[in-house]
């Protein structure tokens, strides 16, 4: 890959030894405000002779660790005497979607306690937040990430996101970086409307199990001819205000319903919730970050969301 930006792939084996690969063929990295992990697909010239027992990888761009994650799949192919490798990886915070805690009410729960007290999950960090003014109700089959999502909303009306490679935040960064791009620096721009997850009607029973007590209708969804009814169980996370459970779910269903984006050649170190300006967008939080690289160079896509949580 011919480019001025320095790109390295580190493959870490379970004995802690490190294989460094610099002959990158192509890669695709992405993260957004609603993914609980970063995602990387990467292909490279496999110059090492021993790839046994790999367990984690890092993508490093200009000395910045952009991705650090588990290996989902690792393929080595040899053709015409040239070995190539292909790795699919998710960040370590993906483990929060694959771990559960005992169902029931957990009182006086904070982000610190939720992440640190139950399991020892490598490399997952978080903002220091000991606010324990609320509780969560752990449902059957719900995950640790579900608990973090609920806690963030109950404490701050926010949605959690991944800062850097594996750091969980439920409050805004205190000093976000600021980026501005003029029209001449853009290779493309556009917008995406995503209505696929929007629910128009919610219905939840009262404590006696009677439906019809708590209902919610999304008038914007109905106006757009989106009719999707969903019946849910009584949400014990919101016993103090049952109607809020439906408002919460409506906000969730409207995530990322509009994204304005632009692309440029290179990568300048942007991260989620940094501030960006381009075209007629001024000082908005970055909601989507996608970086792609191949023989033509590196291209970065920056997106801004307009939904119930952002902008």
Structural domain contains residue 234: yes
Kindly state whether residues 126 and 154 are assigned to the same domain: yes
Taking the mean position of all CA atoms in its chain, how far away is CA 65? 16
pLDDT tens-digit profile of 18-75? 999 989 999 999 999 999 999 999 999 999 989 999 999 999 999 999 999 999 999 9
Structural domain contains residue 21: yes
Of 46, 67, 92, the last residue of a domain is 92
Kindly state whether residues 186 and 295 are assigned to the same domain: yes
Q: How many whole angstroms separate alpha carbon 12 and alpha carbon 270?
A: 25
243: tokens are 């109607």
For 223, phi then psi, to 5°, come to -60, -30
For residue 84, give the CATH number of its domain.
Answer: 2.30.300.10
Kindly state whether residues 103 and 61 are assigned to the same domain: no
Contact between 115 and 143 under an 8 Å Cβ cutoff? The reply is: no
Kindly state whether residues 84 and 138 are assigned to the same domain: no
Contact between 298 and 5 under an 8 Å Cβ cutoff? The reply is: yes
pLDDT tens-digit profile of 247-273? 999 999 999 999 999 999 999 999 999
Structural domain contains residue 298: yes
Q: How many domains does the chain have?
A: 4
Structural domain contains residue 241: yes
- Mean pLDDT value across the chain: 95
pLDDT tens-digit profile of 68-108? 999 999 999 999 999 999 999 999 999 999 999 999 999 99
Of 68, 92, 116, the last residue of a domain is 92
pLDDT tens-digit profile of 268-295? 999 999 999 999 999 999 999 999 998 8
- Domain hosting 76: range is 7-92
- Residue 147, class by beta-carbon neighbours within 10 Å (0-12 exposed, 13-18 middle, 19+ buried)? buried
Kindly state whether residues 11 and 88 are assigned to the same domain: yes
Kindly state whether residues 140 and 185 are assigned to the same domain: no
pTM attached to this predicted model? 0.93
Helix 144-156 and helix 242-253, axial crossing angle in degrees, nearest 10:
110
Kindly state whether residues 11 and 57 are assigned to the same domain: yes
Structural domain contains residue 149: yes
Structural domain contains residue 189: yes
Sign of CA dihedral 47, 28, 298, 163: negative
Structural domain contains residue 1: no
Whether residue 128 is predicted with pLDDT greater than 90 in this model: the reply is yes
Q: How many whole angstroms separate alpha carbon 162 and alpha carbon 42?
A: 21
Q: How many whole angstroms separate alpha carbon 303 and alpha carbon 297?
A: 20
Kindly state whether residues 182 and 298 are assigned to the same domain: yes
pLDDT tens-digit profile of 133-181? 999 999 999 999 999 999 999 999 999 999 999 999 999 999 999 999 9
Q: How many whole angstroms separate alpha carbon 93 and alpha carbon 79?
A: 35
Quote the pLDDT of residue 2.
40
Kindly state whether residues 22 and 49 are assigned to the same domain: yes
- For 114, the enclosing helix (H) or strand (E) is helix 111-116
Kindly state whether residues 131 and 26 are assigned to the same domain: no
Kindly state whether residues 182 and 290 are assigned to the same domain: yes
Kindly state whether residues 75 and 11 are assigned to the same domain: yes
């Amino acid at each position: 890959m011919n480019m001025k930006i320095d790109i390295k792939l580190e493959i870490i084996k379970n004995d802690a030894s490190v294989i460094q690969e610099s002959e990158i063929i192509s890669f695709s990295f992405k993260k957004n405000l609603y993914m609980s992990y970063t995602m990387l697909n990467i292909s490279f010239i496999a110059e090492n002779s021993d790839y046994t027992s790999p367990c984690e990888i890092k993508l490093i761009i200009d000395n910045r660790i952009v991705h650090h994650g588990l290996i989902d799949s690792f393929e080595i192919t040899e053709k015409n005497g040239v070995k190539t490798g292909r790795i699919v990886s998710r960040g370590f915070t993906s483990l929060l979607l694959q771990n559960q805690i005992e169902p029931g009410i957990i009182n006086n729960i904070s982000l610190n306690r939720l992440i640190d007290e139950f399991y020892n999950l490598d490399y997952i960090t978080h903002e220091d937040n000991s606010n324990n003014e609320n509780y969560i109700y752990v449902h059957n089959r719900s995950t640790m990430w579900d608990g973090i999502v609920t806690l963030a909303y109950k404490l701050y009306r926010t949605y959690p996101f991944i800062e850097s490679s594996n750091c969980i935040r439920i409050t805004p960064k205190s000093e976000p970086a600021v980026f501005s791009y003029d029209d001449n620096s853009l290779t493309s721009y556009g917008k995406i409307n995503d209505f696929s997850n929007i629910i128009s009607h919610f219905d939840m029973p009262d404590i006696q199990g009677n439906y019809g007590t708590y209902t919610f209708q999304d008038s914007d969804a109905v106006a757009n001819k989106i009719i999707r009814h969903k019946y849910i169980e009584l949400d014990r996370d919101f016993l103090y205000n049952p109607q809020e459970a439906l408002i919460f779910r409506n906000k969730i269903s409207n995530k990322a319903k509009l994204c304005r984006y632009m692309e440029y050649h290179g990568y300048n170190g942007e991260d989620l919730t940094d501030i960006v300006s381009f075209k007629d967008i001024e000082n908005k939080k970055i909601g989507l970050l996608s970086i792609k690289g191949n023989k033509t160079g590196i291209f970065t896509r920056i997106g801004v969301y307009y939904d119930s949580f952002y902008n």
